[in-house]
Structure 1
Amino acid sequence: MKSIIKIQSFLIVCWLIILSSCAKKSLEGSYYFNWGIRFTDIYQKYEFSENGTFTTEGGGDLGPESYGYGTYLLSKDSLILQYSKEKDPIKSKVFIESIPESKQTDSVTFHFEFYELETEMPITGTVAQYFEDKSKNKGIIAGTDGVCSIRLIKGNKTQTYTIFSLVGHESFELDLVNDSSKIIRIGLAENIGKQVFDKTTRFGVKKISNKVIQFSGGDQLIRYTPRVQN
């Protein structure tokens, strides 16, 4: 009888060990991605919370290029990142005002006024159109006063314009209908990169320690302490 109890106790302990090794693990803290090759001009940072959520930011010498957030699942052999399915709204502000026409005309004018959202000062901005036939691509750049205009044939067609700045501000697409002349005031927000969303990324895990997660492909996530900005 005692031998049976010992065997049962041993089996229970083994079962608990198996459950513990297969149980969901959690991360907490700041990590940066190490590709195994030293890149001085690009980075990818992750912030993991114990509640199973994460945020990430990637970029280079010119500033942020991408960001994302979502939930993660860490086990002994994999790290799965499930990015948010929803795309964030743009942070820039756009105000569109139609201009009444004093006489019949077969053309319209889009008058753009760019300013920095935080300071409300005029800034240089670019309005571009891209086509499958790249020879048809076109764009116009606002001067230091933040103003530029496009003249079009009047109609009822929706056209997509890409709005961006070369000085670290958000870029986005804007749909406009050429049915009337318009004043388009655009307050550009600071660039935080292109959002990664509705995507699942899986890493095969080779080894997990307090400071490093080693992936089966040779890459690593290395824990670090962010600098405190004064």
Structure 2
Amino acid sequence: MNNFFKLTLIFLLILPYQISAQKTIEGLYSLPSPTGDFSTSINFSKTGIFEYEHSGHLGTEEYGIGTYSLDRKRIILNYNLTKPLKKSYFESKFWINDNEKVELKVDVFDLEGNPIPYANIYILADNNGVTSNKSGNGKLVLNKENRNAELTISFVGYDEVKIPFNQKYNYENIVHLRKWKRGSAPTPILNQIDTLQILQRRKNEIITLNKNNQEQVWTRLE
């Protein structure tokens, strides 16, 4: 009889320790929208990393990656690993010469460094332009004059880039264009900390209270 009470006491002492020691959670948890127009999910890994995604009809609207901490009362989401979206960009070199003409050279690539052939390279105000060759190269030759203008580089399915320049200089431009998708670009969650208060935790379900004091039922999908 004494042994039974000893074992029971040991079990009761160990049980809270086991519960409090659960510092990780694993699986993909989804928060369904009442109207079905949106979906929100968080994918937790054993390594303490999570991935958050909020989607609508046109795809992902908001996303974030970070580390999380867990105890019996709350889940703390630290969005400290989210990378900002890659955007189109350009690099320019310019110099003056003694000629009556100036050259605007442009090399057009995607964000992975692949050449974009047949990209449009033009000065809209002058109705003057060329298209890039198979290597993504193009060149405009202009009369030298001291005036400011704008060079536009565009291609179907990609963001366009506008480069300001002065027409008394020669330019070499390296341009990287980003592909665009239907709908607006998703918003990254950067350097933000959210706390989900745990109201109840079941085998495949977690009921939480968010920062707006709203009750949420997260269901494990996998």
Band the TM-score falls in, shorter-chain normalisation: 0.5 to 0.7
- Listed one character per residue, the Cα deviations across residues 45-103 of structure 1 (whole Å, up to 9, x for unaligned) are 2211122211122232222222211112222321111111x663654563412233347
Q: Say whether the 8 Å CA contact 1:112–1:185 is kept in structure 2.
A: yes
Q: Residue type matched to 2:69 in 1? A: L
Q: CA deviation at 1:10?
A: 4.9
Structure 2 residue 214 is matched with structure 1 residue 224 = no
Gaps in structure 1 of 5+ consecutive residues: 104-109, 125-144, 154-164, 226-230
The structural deviation recorded for 1:201 is 0.8
TM-score where L is the length of structure 2? 0.58
Query: Aligned with 1:18: secondary structure?
Result: helix
Q: Which sections of structure 2, spanning at least 5 residues, go unmatched? A: 99-103, 121-130, 133-137, 139-146, 150-154
Closer/same/farther in 2, CA of residues 183 and 73 from structure 1, 3 Å limit? same
User: After superposition, where does 1:74-223 map in structure 2 within 5 Å?
Assistant: 74-84=70-80, 88=83, 90-92=85-87, 94-102=89-97, 116-117=110-111, 120-121=115-116, 152=148, 183=173, 185-189=175-179, 193-216=186-209, 217-223=214-220
Change (3 A) 1:224 1:13: closer
SS in 1 for 2:62: strand
Match of 2:61 in 1: 65
Q: Secondary structure at the match of 1:198?
A: coil
CA deviations on 1:21-62 (whole Å, 9 max, x unpaired) are: 322343222222235x2241x222221112221112223222
Q: 1:206 to 1:54 in 2, by over 3 A?
A: same
Report the residue type matching 1:33 in the other structure.
Answer: L
TM-align CA RMSD: 4.8
| Residues 157 and 179, structure 2, Cα contact 8 Å, conserved in 1 | no
Percent sequence identity over matched residues?
A: 20
Residues 122-179 of structure 1 deviation map (CA, whole Å, 9 limit, x = unaligned): 679xxxxxxxxxxxxxxxxxxxx799xxx848xxxxxxxxxxx99687x9xx99998x
- Runs of 4+ that moved beyond 4 A: 5-11, 110-124, 165-169, 174-178, 189-192
- Name the aligned partner's letter for residue 215 of structure 2: G
Residue 91 of structure 1 contacts residue 189 of structure 1 at CA under 8 Å; is this kept in 2? no
